[in-house]
A = this chain, B = another copy of it.
């Protein structure tokens, strides 16, 4: 008997047939004696349709109205899913963000959850009713509708799971768990039984598409056990949880890659204090997130080269600002390089094991892959390489860190199914 939050994304509730599948899975889980609380996204494609409608009416639709518009998508999918579950004989009711008591700040289209009561969710569970919660949405103190931004439904699921003290928060996706790396590149990639919040966060921010950063952060903060599972099968999935001793034994848990960055280099910047500050202040004021930064002092000691990477979508703006600042700083010129990829190895074991960096650099160099930039964190090592080497680099590192083999027997997950 467990209390389980299950979250299904837009693809999983994208048609009548799929909604029926979700309903069957929910009812099966209930019949095993569990209590289920559902969180759903809008039906796949519907959100895009609404955005198109909005854009055809307004050059810059007011954010408040976008939230009113887009939050409707989850109301539709939640109501339909509740109908499908009721049809199978298990009472069910849809609940909006407001009805769940998800109070957010007033930053429309990317609101942050301020508090959550979930009283009606608890009441429904007590009465044997399956609540189907509209993901992605909340309400401000002054009663306006907000949405939580990208990955908002995962966040709703984690927040509800925390509020009702669920035994697990299962995120259903098109993949059956978190893998050591992209199986499309390395067929031997292995599904992880569990992974720590921190590792998952690094992998998510490095481009792994399974879970969004915000939901993992929330789960970590409130210690919600997340499970990434497949909507196609009953396979166990990957448990994302607190770091434990088993995990520390594993030096590297996974390898991620990101082809969506551009490198910008400002060459010949006079080498005097405060220059990096000037540059990156200008860029951050444009809300562009800079990822990696490298500064080289040129041999004569008078000029420096500064390279940094930004998301490809921000390239144009970042280049403009760099050009402007380069002029002010009397720098020589600004160049951009789109054909780069960032390859990262992630593992909490790095904290206690040395030699990861050396092995990474050696493996890449042995295969003729030149490293353009390096950055490190406590549990992550990233290298920028030429984009054409992406797949090769991932394969080489997967092999070097021996990820295809299962490292240690890890304890079974405790939630009964």
Within 8 A of B (CB), among A23-74: 50, 53-54, 56-59, 61-62, 64-66, 68-69, 71-73
The interface centre, meaning the residue of A50, A58, A59, A87 with most chain B CB atoms within 10 A of its CB, is: A58
On whether the beta carbons of A69 and B65 are closer than 8 Å, the reply is no
30 A/B residue pairs, CB under 8 Å, sorted by A: A16-B56, A16-B57, A19-B57, A50-B76, A53-B80, A54-B79, A54-B83, A57-B84, A58-B83, A58-B86, A59-B87, A61-B86, A62-B82, A64-B93, A65-B82, A65-B83, A65-B94, A68-B96, A69-B75, A69-B76, A69-B83, A71-B75, A72-B72, A72-B75, A72-B76, A72-B79, A75-B75, A96-B145, A98-B98, A99-B144
On whether the beta carbons of A62 and B86 are closer than 8 Å, the reply is yes
- B residues within 8 A CB of A57? 16, 19-20, 80, 83-84, 87
Q: With an 8 A cutoff between CB atoms, is A296 at the interface?
A: no
Q: Which residue of chain B has its CB nearest to the CB of A73?
A: B72
- B residues within 8 A CB of A68? 75, 78-79, 82, 94, 96
On whether the beta carbons of B72 and A87 are closer than 8 Å, the reply is no
The interface centre, meaning the residue of A58, A68, A72, A96 with most chain B CB atoms within 10 A of its CB, is: A68
In the assembled complex, the CB of A78 is this many whole angstroms from the nearest CB of chain B, namely 7
On whether the beta carbons of A65 and B53 are closer than 8 Å, the reply is no
How long is the Cα–Cα vector from A96 to B62 in the complex, in angstroms? 16
How long is the Cα–Cα vector from A330 to B73 in the complex, in angstroms? 57
Complex copy number for this chain:
2
In the assembled complex, the CB of A301 is this many whole angstroms from the nearest CB of chain B, namely 57
Interface residues of A, dominant DSSP: helix
A: number of interface residues (CB 8 Å): 38
In the assembled complex, the CB of A58 is this many whole angstroms from the nearest CB of chain B, namely 4
- B residues within 8 A CB of A144? 99
Q: With an 8 A cutoff between CB atoms, is A278 at the interface?
A: no
Q: Which residue of chain B has its CB nearest to the CB of A56?
A: B16
How long is the Cα–Cα vector from A93 to B69 in the complex, in angstroms? 12
Contact pick for A69, options B19, B58, B79, CB 8 Å: B79
- B residues within 8 A CB of A79? 54, 65-66, 68-69, 72
Contact pick for A61, options B61, B75, B83, CB 8 Å: B83
- B residues within 8 A CB of A84? 57-58
- B residues within 8 A CB of A82? 62, 65, 68
